[in-house]
Amino acid sequence: MGKVYLVGAGHGDPDLITIKALKCIREADIILYDRLVNKDLLEEAKQATTLIYCGKLPNNHTMKQEAINALLVQCGKQDKIVTRLKGGDPFVFGRGAEEAEVLVENGIPFEIVPGITSGIAAPAYAGIPVTHRDYGNSFAVITGHGVKGKPSNINWGGLVKGVDTLVVYMGVGNLPYICQSLLNNGKSSDTPIAIIHWGTKTERRTVTGTLSTIVEIVKREKIENPSMIIIGDVVKVREKIAWFKEANLVESQWLLTGESV
């Protein structure tokens, strides 16, 4: 019997992959990869490696999770090295735990290889620290998309009262609901917010605003998934330390007042 590696490929920029993850790609006989994995990384695989695409678009899954689980088991029972390649980190909204559970149930050896998650990488490339001594001593990562669309089971009140910075995955489609939920639970309408599209890739775009203005800004600028949402005073730091020049020289960035620059 072979072995399965559940691998985080990092976020966007292929240089963000870890050394161990790169070894897993180079040694694999079979690679099952997701939509957000940078395709340049697949060029590191052996010529004889079998590549299987398991990508998912919102509401359009090439392969459902149950089918991916079954395929992992099928491949894992062969005398081969199998690399399950995921964007970011396999355990941060990557459903890696579910896949690991299936492997355990079928007695298939596996390892977890952590990766740099988009909730940290994307804001870092945008010049936004998720923690800062003056602006944020705590942060939480939450999903912006639930099984039935809106993430209705989130404790918005607890987040407003207990966390300085919110990092929201998969939330652009539900942005009005997210902003209103925070406002309804006492978050100030002037709270800074940033939306970062394609995080660490060269075509990255960032827009900023407040909880009361960001929905219209995103609509006007046509920001779509995949994008990260950062909510909190740490967004203010971007004005000082933004270091990665975005593809468009005239950035579609907005000041916290909603004015274009």
Q: What is the pLDDT of residue 247?
A: 54
Is-contact 88 116, C-beta < 8 A? yes
Average pLDDT over residues 120-133: 95
Whether residues 128 and 222 share a domain: the answer is yes
249 domain-assigned: no
Final residue of a structural domain among 113, 138, 166: 113
Query: What is the pLDDT confidence band of residue 261, given thresholds at 50, 70 and 90?
Result: very low
What CATH number should be reported for the domain holding residue 63? 3.40.1010.10
196 domain-assigned: yes
Q: What is the pLDDT of residue 202?
A: 80
pLDDT tens digits, 160-189? 999 999 999 999 999 999 999 999 999 999
Query: Does the pLDDT value for residue 257 go beyond 60?
Result: no
Whether residues 60 and 90 share a domain: the answer is yes
Final residue of a structural domain among 86, 113, 140: 113
Residue 133 CA: distances (Å) to CA of 31, 164, 166, 237, 261: 42, 11, 16, 11, 28
Whether residues 103 and 126 share a domain: the answer is no
Q: What is the mean pLDDT of the chain?
A: 90
Nearest to 29 by CA among 43, 49, 46, 44: 49
Number of domains forming the structure of the chain: 2
Q: What is the pLDDT of residue 243?
A: 83
Q: What is the pLDDT of residue 60?
A: 55
Which burial class, exposed, middle or buried, applies to 106 when counting CB atoms under 10 A from its CB (0-12, 13-18, 19+)? Answer: middle
12 domain-assigned: yes
Whether residues 101 and 50 share a domain: the answer is yes
What are the backbone angles phi and psi of residue 141, rounded to the nearest 5°? -105, 130
pTM of the model: 0.87
Whether residues 125 and 82 share a domain: the answer is no
Range scoring the smallest mean pLDDT among 154-158, 224-228, 247-251: 247-251
Which range of residues forms the domain containing residue 224? Answer: 118-241
By annotation, the residues acting in catalysis are: 34, 56, 170
Query: Does the pLDDT value for residue 63 go beyond 50?
Result: yes
